[in-house]
Amino acid sequence: MPAVYLILGLPGAGRHEIVLNLIEGGLDEAQPVTVYLAEGDEPPAVTAPLTARTGVTARPYAWVEDRGFVEPASATEGEADVVFFLADGRASPIDQLEAFPAWLAERGWKLTRILLVVDCTLAAAHPEVSEWHEACAHFADCVLLNRREGVPNAWISAFRRKFAAGFFPCLITLVKQGRVENAPLVLFPEPRRLSLVFDEIDPLEDIDEDDEELPDDLLTMENKPDPYFERSPSGQRRRLVPNVRKFLPGGPKP
């Protein structure tokens, strides 16, 4: 079973460059790697250095609303020790996160970690983009602060304080010129995310069944949806994430 990393982030944030750095700095050279890339997410010039690397197999997919992750009919699963799945940065991250457990289950795989690449320049310029990243951080095991050139240190510090104030357990690390400080630490298979949707949890494990003072919500915890997945009777999500497509390079996805 491969180690599976889900990569969140916006187009232009440097996700492909960082994944290439993680492969080169955190994995054994002989390990086969599969990288899933969303069609139309980034131009070929951005993806080429990653997909051209020896030992990396690129697999295209399309995110289609109401259908989920759609792969070419001719595609076949190859052998891989490590899988990097780059979410479609132009589509809803919450919709994709909600669908990803089923995608993993179809293959009999389990999630290793979720990595969020933050475009600090874009987030510092637009509050909506900052809020988008904060929502994604709810699911992330590691938050990688990239594109920091020209961003005031005060903004970086304030952004990090939000996670500390919210008791986010995720690792927060800096990226410089496409390189992370410690690639093996970023890839280390230890869950550090706030969300529990990818974790197998037995709420009654190690609990004395004769205990008459169990919390009222303990028995329902296993079936309780993530706050970002909850919907109102009308079908709308109760916790909304800003639509940031107007701020992306090249504009919204057609």
Structural tokens at position 138 = 């709810």
Q: What is the pLDDT of residue 219?
A: 46
| Structural domains for the chain | 3-196+234-247 (3.40.50)
How would you classify the pairing of strands 68-70 and 56-64?
antiparallel
Q: What is the pLDDT of residue 218?
A: 43
Helices (H), 75-211: 93-107, 120-125, 127-137, 153-165, 183-187
Q: What is the pLDDT of residue 220?
A: 45
Q: What is the pLDDT of residue 224?
A: 75
Q: Which long-range contacts (CB under 8 A, 24 or more apart) does 127-130 make?
A: 128/242, 128/243, 128/244, 128/247, 129/10, 129/242, 129/244, 129/247, 130/159
Burial tier of 32 (Cβ tally within 10 Å: 0-12, 13-18, 19+): middle
Find the radius of gyration of the CA atoms of the chain: 19
Q: What is the pLDDT of residue 225?
A: 81
pLDDT tens for the chain, residues 1 to 254: 999 999 999 999 999 999 999 999 999 988 999 999 999 999 999 999 999 999 999 999 999 988 999 998 765 666 799 999 999 999 999 999 999 999 999 999 999 999 999 999 999 999 999 999 999 999 999 999 999 999 999 999 999 999 999 999 999 999 999 999 999 999 999 999 999 999 875 544 554 555 555 455 444 445 578 999 999 998 899 999 999 999 997 765 55
